[in-house]
Amino acid sequence: MEPILECRGLEKQYGKGVQALRGINLTLSKGRIVGLLGPNGSGKSTLIKLCNGLLTPTAGSLSIQGQPVGPQTKLSVSYLPDRSYLNDWMRVEELVHFFADFYSNFDTAKAYDMLQRLGINPRDRLKALSKGNQEKVQLILVMSRQVPLYLLDEPIGGVDPAARDYILNTILSNYSEDSTILLSTHLIADVEKILDDVIFLKQGEVVLSSPVDQLREEHRMSVDALFREVFKC
């Protein structure tokens, strides 16, 4: 089966000296929820940005559905960045329209449905919303696309535990069986129950990549506990 995402010897160096990623070899297959786990500064965001073409690799190759990153792969990837990236003067409904205009795989009805369930008024301007609601709008837009690969960078980083559950449920209920989700976070306990696979990233290197079940069997501990052991300071 063709992998959805494949990295071979992927390296990223920022300026002189700062090596964010070194020799990453990774293969993600279809229909998996993969946790990209690691402490701050381990290269999680760098890897995700490389997959989106927002950064250029220093060395190595990266392909999505067998293709190098480009307009075609951008249509098949739905990306949630770790920051606010929407024009905040636009109304929520204008943003929905923007996404529908550019992404042929965007489901407008689904987006409005989720907005309504979260009590967000589509007529509001983005900057009039609270920070938490702005993040939810961003997540709704990203999850309203039907794509083979979702790349979610810290989707639960800045929200309270109640909202965390809602967001995870949104993610779970809005992706199809064939899709793959790569989700980066350091809040492992919260996401552990939904993950199929985990990748541990430490100082720009993959130190562990394995299905969660196998991990639990081998080490006889939860992913959270294992993480604390691997990344002990």
Partner 1 sequence: MLSKLLKYEFKATGRAFLPLYGALLALAVINNLLFRIDGAGFPQTHEVSRISTAIGVLLYVLLIMAIFVLTVVVMIQRFYKNLLSEEGYLMFTLPVRTWQLISSKLIASMVWIVLSCAVTFLSIFIMAVNHGFSLSDLPRILETLSREIFQILDLNMAVIFLELFCLGIVGIAEFILVIYASIAVGQLFPHHRYLGAFGAFLAFGAINQVLTTFLTISGSVYITANEIQFTYYAGFFNMAFGLMLLYSLFWVVVCFLLTNYILSRKLNLA
Report whether 32 contacts 26 (CB < 8 A): no
* 8 A C-beta contact, residue 114 and residue 140: yes
Least Cβ distance, residue 94 to partner 1 (angstroms): 8
Which residue, among 232, 198, 201, 191, has the nearest Cα to 216 in the 3D structure? 198
Is 15 one of the binding residues for partner 1 (CB under 8 A)? Answer: yes
Please tell me what DSSP assigns to residue 94. Answer: H
**Nearest distance in Å: CB 90, partner 1:** 9
115 binds partner 1 (CB under 8 A): no
Report the residue number, 101 or 177, with the smaller CB distance to partner 1.
101
Which amino acid, residue 117? R
Interface with partner 1 includes 119 (CB under 8 A)? no
Helix/strand/coil for 152? strand
**Residue 49 or 200 having the CB closest to partner 1:** 49
Nearer to partner 1, 98 or 231 (CB): 98
Q: In the complex, what is the shortest distance from the CB of residue 43 to partner 1, in angstroms, rounded to a whole number?
A: 15
Question: d(Cα 216, Cα 194) in Å, to the nearest integer?
Answer: 14
Give yes or no for a contact between 27 and 53, defined as CB atoms under 8 angstroms apart: no
Stretch near partner 1 under the rule CB under 8 A, chosen from 80-88, 124-132, 155-163, 190-198: 80-88
Classified as helix, coil or strand, 160 is coil
Contacts with partner 1 by CB under 8 A lie at 14-15, 49, 52-56, 71-72, 74-75, 77, 79, 81, 83-87, 89, 98, 101-103
